[in-house]
Amino acid sequence: MKGISLFIPLMLVGGLVLGYDHISDLKSDFRVGDPEIRSINALAFGPEGIIFIGDSKRAEIFALDTHDQTPSKEVVDIAMENIDQHIAALLGTTSGAVVIQDMAVNPISQTVYIAVHVNDGKPILLRLNGDQFEHVSLEMVSHAKTGLNKAVKEDAVDRRGRPLRKWAISDLAYYNGNVMVSGLSNEEFSSTFRSIPFPFNENQVHSSLEIYHAAHGQYETHSPIKTFMPYELHGKTHLIASYTCTPLVIFPMDEMKPGEQTKGKTVAELGNRNTPIDIVSYKKDGKPYILLANTSRALMKIDPSMIENYKDYLVAPVEENSATAGVEFIALPYVNIQQMDKLNDDKVLLLQRMPNGALNLHTANSSRL
């Protein structure tokens, strides 16, 4: 999940405006040391320059203080070619040894953070400073952490023998004082959504998820959400979530009960043989839209009012190969998007593999989306 302003730096309580001085206890339990992060599978920003890291190998969520709280003074455009080569040069390796895991923009400073793994599996966090990448220490840092209850086991495999542990954490978001986590658990219905209070405590709750997968023609409980975002529909908070192959599903948050199974409402089938990558919201001429980046499809533009007003939830198979159904979308002329996040109210940041093979990082103005 990317691209929503999921926290508010000023809080209105009893008619009074409370600023950061009144919520500094967010970092009261942070400790300086080595968090021993073994993998970075998902990134998300919270308030006060805190970045959340999802580590599937350890089945833990880390909160790191980036000390990056200076608001951006100007609206910037980013245009960098061959960023995999820039990163490889910094790390002393080749671009083929670099795997970009996730990308997140700090909404305060508009600084870009990128998580990579190299061939030996070592996790590395980088940030963009001007036109150069620099290391963000993962060793002696101010941090807090929490483990996931009932995470999928380290040796678990699917029916094809593929490891499942990497999907212990598939996506992250910070919303309304909670870290939201999608992924797999070790329970019978393994697709799971967790809400973890922040600052971290023991009151971790999770719900098992069931969806109707129209391309497969069946109800499913074992595939994790691949990307999601909290979004208000009909005055209520919902999850808008997308799964591999590619159902788009909504979950009313007030129906997600701790320890219970929640059935999502499938509002679209966006085409099989495809995996969603990132979902963001933005505004164009004052009207909200949603963007969904995918592995095998063009960037999709969706009008959230169509989701809000859609009543005939999909409960029948979509049998034609690569066919779509349900809520309509516009295929924008952006393909091979590798990562995506909202840079600011007017710009979306895209990491895109270009036709010439270059991996470029660039902004797209909302007027062009």
Say how far apart CA 256 and CA 258 lie, in whole Å: 7
Q: What are phi and psi of 43, to 5 degrees?
A: -125, 150
Say how far apart CA 356 and CA 336 lie, in whole Å: 12
Handedness of CA 206, 208, 212, 214 (dihedral sign): positive
Write down the pLDDT at residue 258.
Answer: 86
Q: What is the pLDDT of residues 91-142, one digit of tens each?
A: 999 999 999 999 999 999 999 999 999 987 889 999 999 999 999 999 999 9
- Output the average pLDDT for the chain: 92
Quote the pTM value.
0.92
DSSP conformation letters of 184-221: EBSSSS-EEEEEEESS--S--EEEEEEEEETTTTEEES
Which H helix or E strand runs over 83? helix 83-91
Write down the pLDDT at residue 145.
Answer: 97
Write down the pLDDT at residue 123.
Answer: 96
Write down the pLDDT at residue 183.
Answer: 97
Q: Is residue 268 a contact partner of residue 324, using CB atoms and an 8 Å limit?
A: yes
Say how far apart CA 252 and CA 238 lie, in whole Å: 4
How far apart, in Å, do the first and last CA atoms of the chain sit?
A: 19
- pLDDT grade for 257, boundaries at 50, 70 and 90: confident
CATH assignment, 11-26+36-368? 2.130.10
- pLDDT grade for 24, boundaries at 50, 70 and 90: low
State what percent of residues in the chain have pLDDT above 70: 93
Q: What are phi and psi of 301, to 5 degrees?
A: -110, 125
* Sheet with 325-326, side-by-side order of all strands: 227-233, 236-242, 247-252, 265-269, 325-326
Query: Average pLDDT in the 241-269 region?
Result: 95
Write down the pLDDT at residue 1.
Answer: 57
Q: What is the pLDDT of residues 333-348, one digit of tens each?
A: 999 999 999 998 889 9
Residue 254 DSSP class:
G
Q: What is the pLDDT of residues 40-78, one digit of tens each?
A: 999 999 999 999 999 999 999 999 999 999 998 887 899
